[in-house]
Amino acid sequence: MIPAQGHAGERVAVLGLGRSGLAAARALRAGGAEPLCWDDNPAAREAAEAEGLLCTDLLRGGVLESASALILSPGIPHLYPAPNPVVAAALEAGVPLDNDIGLFFRSLATSDWASHDMPPRVVAVTGSNGKSTTAALIHHILGESGRDSQLAGNIGRGVFDIDPPGDGAVVVLELSSYQTELARALTPDIAVFTNLSPDHLDRHAGRGGYFAAKRRLFAEGAPDRAVIGVDETEGQFLSNQLSEARGDDRVIQVSVTRKLTSAGWHVFVRKGFLTEYRKGRQVGAADLRPVRGLPGAHNHQNACAAWAVARSLGLAPRVIESALHSFPGLPHRSQVVAESGGVTFVNDSKATNVDSAARALAAFPRIRWICGGLEKEGGLDALRGQTGAVVKAYVIGREAAAFAMQLDVEAEICTDMATAVARAAADAAPGDTVLLAPAAASFDQYDNFEQRGADFTAMVRRHL
CATH number for the domain spanning 303: value is 3.40.1190.10
Residues 156 and 18 in one domain: no
Query: 197 versus 310: which is more confidently predicted?
Result: 310
Rounded percentage of the chain residues whose pLDDT exceeds 70? 100
Residues 136 and 281 in one domain: yes
Considering the domain boundaries, does residue 4 fall inside one?
A: no
Considering the domain boundaries, does residue 2 fall inside one?
A: no
- Using 50, 70 and 90 to split pLDDT, how confident is the model at 7? very high
194: nearest Cα among 270, 137, 122: 137
- Report the chain's mean pLDDT, rounded to a whole number: 94
The predicted-structure confidence for 46-104, as pLDDT tens digits, reads as follows: 999 999 999 999 999 899 999 999 999 998 999 999 999 999 999 999 999 999 999 99
Considering the domain boundaries, does residue 246 fall inside one?
A: yes
How much is the pLDDT for 121? Answer: 96
142: nearest Cα among 165, 159, 126, 113: 165
* Residue-range definition of the domain harbouring residue 91: 11-103
Domain finish residue from 273, 294, 325: 325
Domain finish residue from 325, 352, 384: 325
Instruction: Indicate whether this model's pTM tops 0.85.
Output: yes
Considering the domain boundaries, does residue 227 fall inside one?
A: yes
- In whole angstroms, what is the distance from residue 112 CA to residue 210 CA? 37
Residues 89 and 159 in one domain: no
Q: Is-contact 212 204, C-beta < 8 A?
A: yes
The predicted-structure confidence for 159-174, as pLDDT tens digits, reads as follows: 999 999 999 999 999 9
- The dihedral over CA atoms of 438, 440, 444, 446, expressed in degrees to the nearest 10, equals 50
- Using 50, 70 and 90 to split pLDDT, how confident is the model at 377? confident
Peptide bond into 81 cis (omega under 30): yes
Collapsing DSSP to helix, strand or coil, 309 comes out as: helix
Listed in sequence order, the residues at least 6 apart from 98 whose beta carbon sits closer than 8 Å to its beta carbon are 69, 70, 71, 72, 182, 183, 184
How much is the pLDDT for 322? Answer: 97
Measured CA distances, 235 to 88, 242, 273, 338, 387 (Å): 33, 11, 22, 36, 25
Instruction: Summarize the annotated binding site for ATP as residue ranges.
Output: 127-133
Residues 154 and 83 in one domain: no
Collapsing DSSP to helix, strand or coil, 281 comes out as: strand
Residues 140 and 256 in one domain: yes
Per DSSP, which regions of 120-197 are E strands?
121-126, 149-153, 170-174, 190-193
- Using 50, 70 and 90 to split pLDDT, how confident is the model at 462? very high
Residues 172 and 198 in one domain: yes
Q: What is the number of other CB atoms lying within 10 angstroms of the CB of residue 87? A: 22
Considering the domain boundaries, does residue 423 fall inside one?
A: yes
Considering the domain boundaries, does residue 388 fall inside one?
A: yes
Q: What is the number of other CB atoms lying within 10 angstroms of the CB of residue 195? A: 26
Q: Is-contact 442 319, C-beta < 8 A?
A: no
Domain finish residue from 59, 84, 103: 103
If one counts the domains in the chain, the total is: 3
Residues 417 and 273 in one domain: no
- In whole angstroms, what is the distance from residue 113 CA to residue 5 CA? 15
Residues 438 and 402 in one domain: yes
φ/ψ of 101, rounded to 5, equals -70, -45
- In whole angstroms, what is the distance from residue 327 CA to residue 87 CA? 41
Q: What is the CATH number of the domain that holds 447?
A: 3.90.190.20
Considering the domain boundaries, does residue 43 fall inside one?
A: yes
**H or E element: which one contains 55?**
strand 54-55
pLDDT(455) > 90: yes
φ/ψ of 89, rounded to 5, equals -65, -40
CA atoms within 13 A on the CB side of 393: 26
99: nearest Cα among 206, 34, 176: 176
How much is the pLDDT for 156? Answer: 78
pLDDT(127) > 80: yes
Collapsing DSSP to helix, strand or coil, 13 comes out as: strand
The predicted-structure confidence for 321-367, as pLDDT tens digits, reads as follows: 999 999 988 889 888 999 999 999 999 999 998 988 998 999 899 99
Considering the domain boundaries, does residue 134 fall inside one?
A: yes
Instruction: Summarize the annotated binding site as residue ranges.
Output: 127-133
The predicted-structure confidence for 169-217, as pLDDT tens digits, reads as follows: 999 999 999 999 999 999 999 999 999 987 778 888 899 999 999 999 9
φ/ψ of 260, rounded to 5, equals -120, 110
DSSP assignments along 424-448, one per residue: HHHH--TT-EEEE--SSBSTTT-SS
Residues 95 and 114 in one domain: no
For the purposes of burial, counting CB atoms within 10 Å of the CB of 107, is it exposed (0-12), middle (13-18) or buried (19 or more)? buried
Q: What is the CATH number of the domain that holds 38?
A: 3.40.50.720
- In whole angstroms, what is the distance from residue 458 CA to residue 252 CA? 41
Residues 311 and 382 in one domain: no
Strand order of the β-sheet with 11-15 is: 54-55, 34-38, 11-15, 70-72, 97-99
Residues 95 and 117 in one domain: no
For the purposes of burial, counting CB atoms within 10 Å of the CB of 248, is it exposed (0-12), middle (13-18) or buried (19 or more)? middle
Angle at CA of residue 218, ends 214 and 222, nearest 5°: 155
Residues 290 and 353 in one domain: no
CA atoms within 13 A on the CB side of 202: 9
Q: Is-contact 300 309, C-beta < 8 A?
A: no
Angle at CA of residue 18, ends 13 and 23, nearest 5°: 65
Measured CA distances, 24 to 17, 53, 73, 162 (Å): 9, 11, 9, 12
